Amino acid sequence: MRTRLAICRKKKHFASEAEAIAAARAATIDLRPYLCDRCHRYHLTSRTKGKRRLPVAG
């Protein structure tokens, strides 16, 4: 599913997947990072259907 430009502009951008994962872990709800096809940075989503689980902290 392609990210709409208006949605991309409203979301927080992360330069790396590691930064996005750290923010997702710090959140109070279940969030997952994804690479945006519009800005080529990472965003967070609460959608879980078809998404990978966060890697285990190690």
| Residue found by looking up tokens 């872990």 in the block | 25
Q: Distance between CA 44 and CA 31 in Å, rounded?
A: 6
pTM of the model: 0.77
pLDDT along the chain (58 residues), means of 10: 86 95 92 93 86 62
Residue 35 forms part of a structural domain = yes
Q: What is the pLDDT of residue 26?
A: 94
Q: How many domains are there within the chain?
A: 1
Residue 30 forms part of a structural domain = yes
Residue 51 forms part of a structural domain = no
Q: Distance between CA 25 and CA 36 in Å, rounded?
A: 19
Residue 25 is part of which domain span?
5-45
Q: Distance between CA 39 and CA 35 in Å, rounded?
A: 9
Query: What are phi and psi for residue 20, nearest 5 degrees?
Result: -65, -40
Residue 16 forms part of a structural domain = yes
CA-CA-CA-CA torsion sign (15, 18, 23, 27): positive
